[in-house]
Amino acid sequence: MKKMHKIKNKYSHQIKQAAYQLGFQYVGISKAEFLEEEAANLEEWLQRGYHGKMTYMENHFDKRLDPTKLVENAKSVITLLYNYETPKKQADETAPKISKYAYGKDYHFVIKEKLRELLHWIQCEIGEVSGRCFVDSAPVLERAWAAKSGLGWIGKHSLLITRTAGSYFFLAELIIDLELEADGPIKDYCGTCTRCIDACPTDAIVDDKIVDGSKCISYFTIELKEEIPTSMAGKFDNWMFGCDICQEVCPWNRFSKPHKEPAFEPHPNLLGMNRREWQELTREVFNEIFRKSAVKRTKFEGLKRNIRFLD
């Protein structure tokens, strides 16, 4: 038993070191098991209709909660955080705003490649290990796994917060059939602070750790495919893609540090465009600036709709 513990500990340490070498800032490990507490929370969130028109959230309920339904004989969930914080800002303060996570190349591609490298390293250095890589593209409750493995805690705005570097991180997972030494959760350090709740212009944060997704600016500007309700007029604080308000006001983000990922650097023209240039945005300019960006998800017509809505 003692020998098995030492082996699990050794593998966990080796995998974490390999992940750090690939540029991940934080790595945590959990036992791959059913997320019992999250099951009740997810069910209630869906019943309240907080997913809005995101009907895909209703699909694969069991897979979201049980990693063994995603990877056969899964034993461990490795959660990794990749920093995207940048001090760079749009030059024109009156220009429609874009969430900083979308400044550079689409994170799905950047991080997925690093996860594949990590899985390949595990298979080469440790042995025959099966697993799958996940970057916000499958039914995985990423923040739950991150909190479970002690990488941080889930803040009142429902995002993961780390004690030493804030919340500007992409989350990713490797679910594998190798048993590893698991980490444990840490306490919640939000305390009585309600800055994120108070700052949200659409009142999307309805309770501690509960966000009504159907009221979130990110939902309206990215997920919603139809016209934005007129009842939301004047409430977007000039955000045309995504929203960073709840993170901007969070005291823990005073500890955030600039990323070191060249792929996340913005297109040379992105931050320099003024309000009028955004209003007159052409398909050609859109395709050039956002060629490999997450903004392509909303498509040219969607971004134009968002910009019009702000006028």
**pLDDT per residue over 29-70, tens digit each?**
999 999 999 999 999 999 999 999 999 998 989 999 999 999
- Residue in 143, 166, 148, 176 with CA at minimum distance from that of residue 18: 176
* Residue 160 · residue 171 · CB < 8 Å: yes
**Beta-carbon count within 10 A of 7 CB:** 14
Q: What is the pLDDT of residue 7?
A: 86
Question: What is the SS3 assignment for 240?
Answer: strand
- Contacts of residue 259, defined as CB under 8 A and 6 or more positions apart, other chains included, come to 83, 84, 85, 86
Tell me which amino acid residue 119 is. Answer: L
Q: Which of 60, 65, 69, 174 is nearest to 126 (CA)?
A: 174
* pLDDT over 80 at 309, yes or no: yes
Backbone angles phi, psi at 58, to 5 degrees: -80, -15
Is 53 strand, coil or helix? coil
Yes or no: say if 196 and 28 are a contact pair by the CB < 8 Å rule. Answer: no
Q: Where are the beta strands (DSSP E) in 169-303?
A: 169-176, 205-207, 210-211, 239-241
Q: Does 1 have pLDDT greater than 70?
A: no
Helix (H, G, I), strand (E, B) or coil at 130: coil
> If pLDDT is split at 50, 70 and 90, which confidence band does 4 have?
confident
Show me where the domains of the chain are located. 2-87+101-176, 195-310
Tokens (6 digits) for 233: 């007029």
The rounded distance, in Å, linking the Cα atoms of 155 and 283 is 38
Q: How far apart are CA 249 and CA 219, in angstroms?
A: 20
Q: Which of 89, 87, 69 is nearest to 77 (CA)?
A: 69
pLDDT digits (tens, 9 = 90+) for 149-207: 999 999 999 999 999 999 999 999 999 999 999 999 999 999 999 999 999 999 999 99
What average pLDDT is seen over the chain? 96
What pLDDT does residue 63 have?
Answer: 92
Q: For the residues 81-86, what does the mean pLDDT come to?
A: 98
pLDDT in tens, 232-269: 999 999 999 999 999 999 999 999 999 999 999 999 99
pLDDT at residue 139 above 90?
Answer: no
Q: What number is the average pLDDT over the span 13-41?
A: 97
Contacts of 233 (CB under 8 A, 6+ apart): 309
The tens digit of pLDDT for each residue in 280-298 reads 999 999 999 999 999 999 9
Q: Is 172 helix (H, G, I), strand (E, B) or coil?
A: strand
Question: Which residues belong to the active site?
Answer: 136
Output the CA–CA distances (angstroms, integers) from residue 148 to 38, 61, 160, 236, in the order listed.
Answer: 11, 19, 11, 33
- Measure the CA–CA gap between 287 and 273, rounded to whole angstroms: 15
What does the pLDDT read at residue 3?
A: 72
Mean pLDDT, to the nearest integer, of 9-33? 97
Q: What is residue 171's predicted lDDT score, i.e. its pLDDT?
A: 98
Q: How many whole angstroms separate alpha carbon 262 and alpha carbon 104?
A: 9
